[in-house]
Every structure is written in structure tokens, then in C-alpha cells.
Amino acid sequence: MTLQWIDSHCHLDAPEFAHDRIEVLQRAQVQGLAACVMPAVQAKDFEPLIQLARVTGQPYALGIHPLYVPKAQESDLALLEKHLQEALSSHLEGTAKDPRLVALGEIGLDFWVPSLCEPAMRDKQEFFYHAQLKLAKRYELPVILHVRKSADALLKGLRQIKVQGGIAHAFNGSLQQAQFFIDMGFVLGFGGAMTYDRALQLRQLATNLPMTAIVLETDAPDIPPHWLYKTQSQRQSEGVSQGRNEPSELPRIASVLAHLRGESLSNVAASTVHNTLRVLPRLQSIFSVSPSLRSF
Ligand SMILES: [Zn+2]
């Protein structure tokens, strides 16, 4: 029997999938993926992403990603709120509730990219992060957080603006920081980065966290697992770009987690699906209606 999985973070609307999006989803379906949560990264992608969610039946999140904050404008926040209202309210004339909207994201802070660490850009990131936390609170949505060298600053924001929790995606902080997120109703997302032998701290975290705190993700097309990764010299000699990650890799990534923790693969599947549905409660309505991906 094929196990059921949820990819809690997958950028299916990315240009890397422009030519074979449906095939990518079909391959994921064959591997037992019941849903791929698609977070937005910038305002101009909101409409096409909502459309993609409609066509494929997949869940999505709306938000402005910290790497896109340099180009973002304050009016993008008004556009975000307009889409949240449309998706969440049934009483507005001509609009319907959209059960596929499951979170606000991808939002957060990135203090790893040097240009984003300039004082003015740090301020702009904080402004968009806090404004979006307020929207998540107002519309009672969980958030999907981008965390890169920013765990403490993100936690500070969460203490000021209390949201209902969500997912700290591609988490790579300390056990103590992980615990703070867990205490605030978050789970931690693990994916391809955990498949590398040298990722000692991350593997230790994946091994030692309670199973209730873990969800799985690919972050496709990014963060390829080690079996897809191409070194710079391979890329040059073979004339290819970095291996594209896709949601069908999720079960193999999960088998690394199962191995690290000494758990059965079916336990890992059941727990991570359960955890994802717990922190993204709106996903439950889609999931129960359609336990597998729609066929295309
Ligand atoms: Zn992402």
C-alpha cells in the first residue's frame, strides 16, 4: 500500500515548473502525495497562484517573502488583505469562500543574504513581517515562516503579535530556538537539507525533536536532496543547472528521517500528515473531501 504524504512547502508556481507542472503533480500523486501546500512569494504572483490552486485542487498560502521585500510596496499589503477577504468571506457579493487558502505565507526575515542585512533593508523586512503577522492575527490564519539567521528576531515578533502558530519552514536553528517555536504553536519543517551527511546539527535536531513537532517539505524547486545535488564542477562539465527538486522526492526524504529516528516509514507518514493538518486546520476540509490529489 502506498503511504500518504503532505508536502507542506512546495513552490509549484515557480518558473522552473512552467513546462511540466501537471506531470510534476502526477509524479507526486504516484508517490502518495495527498497535498502540496503552495506558498506565495510576491504580490504579482497572487492571482496566478490562486488560479493554479483552483485548477489543481491544491492548497495555497498568500504572503510576501523576505527575499522579495526589496521590490515590495506598501500597496502589496492592501492587495494581500483584499485576497484574504475574498477567500475567507462568503457574504461578499460575487465571491465565494476558498477552502484552499490555508495560511499566510511565505513571510519572515532573512539575515543571511548580505544586501538584506543593510539597516534600511532590515527595517523594511521587519515592517513587512510585522504587518503580515497582524493580518494573520486579524484573519485567524496560521503563518508559514522563512527562517534564515533570523530565529530570534522572528520569535520576538511572535511575542509581540500573537498568531495561532504555523510552520517554521526549512528550520535550521538550535534546539532551544526550536522549543520556543513549538511553545508558540509551531511545527518545524524538514526537507532535503537533512539528507546530507555533513548536516550534523540539523540531523541531530531531526532526531531529537518530539515527533509531534515535525512536518515534511521539499521547498521544490529548491533545496535538492543529496541524490539530486550537482556540484559546481559537475554543473560546468555537464553544462547543466542545479538539480531541480520536486514533490515526488518527499517519501525518499522522509525515509532519511525515519532512518535517523529509528522509526517506521508508516509512522513518519502518519505523524507528519497529522501534524500538518493540526497546524493548518483549514487543510482538513480539503483533505477529508479528497484524500488524494485530484486526477488530471
Ligand atoms: Zn519557500
CA–centroid distance, 111 to ligand 1, in Å, is 15
CA–centroid distance, 217 to ligand 1, in Å, is 9
CA–centroid distance, 110 to ligand 1, in Å, is 12
Q: Please, which residues bridge with residue 6 across strands?
A: 35
CA–centroid distance, 106 to ligand 1, in Å, is 6
Looking at residue 243, its pLDDT comes to 79
Looking at residue 89, its pLDDT comes to 80
| Alpha-carbon span 256 to 206, nearest angstrom | 10
Looking at residue 288, its pLDDT comes to 61
CA–centroid distance, 244 to ligand 1, in Å, is 14
CA–centroid distance, 172 to ligand 1, in Å, is 14
CA–centroid distance, 19 to ligand 1, in Å, is 20
Cα 124 off chain centre by: 22
Looking at residue 242, its pLDDT comes to 72
- Most distant CA atoms of the chain, gap in Å: 59
CA–centroid distance, 1 to ligand 1, in Å, is 30
CA–centroid distance, 219 to ligand 1, in Å, is 5
CA–centroid distance, 235 to ligand 1, in Å, is 23
CA–centroid distance, 90 to ligand 1, in Å, is 29
* Torsion from C-alpha of 53, 85, 72, 42, nearest 10 degrees: -10
Looking at residue 228, its pLDDT comes to 84
Whole-model pTM?
Answer: 0.93
CA–centroid distance, 94 to ligand 1, in Å, is 32
CA–centroid distance, 9 to ligand 1, in Å, is 6
| Alpha-carbon span 296 to 13, nearest angstrom | 17
Contact 168, 209 (CB under 8 A): no
| Alpha-carbon span 215 to 154, nearest angstrom | 19
CA–centroid distance, 11 to ligand 1, in Å, is 6
Looking at residue 287, its pLDDT comes to 74
Looking at residue 293, its pLDDT comes to 46
CA–centroid distance, 220 to ligand 1, in Å, is 8
Q: Which of 105, 96, 95, 136 is nearest to 9 (CA)?
A: 105
One digit per residue, the tens of pLDDT, for the chain of length 296 reads 689 999 999 999 999 999 999 999 999 999 999 999 999 999 999 999 999 999 999 999 999 999 999 999 999 999 999 999 999 986 555 556 899 999 999 999 999 999 999 999 999 999 999 999 999 999 999 999 999 999 999 999 999 999 999 999 999 999 999 999 999 999 999 999 999 999 999 999 999 999 999 999 999 998 889 888 778 888 888 877 777 899 999 999 999 999 999 999 999 999 999 999 999 999 998 876 554 544 43
CA–centroid distance, 2 to ligand 1, in Å, is 27
Which segments of 122-251 are extended strands (E)? 143-148, 166-169, 186-190, 214-216
| Alpha-carbon span 261 to 258, nearest angstrom | 5
CA–centroid distance, 162 to ligand 1, in Å, is 22
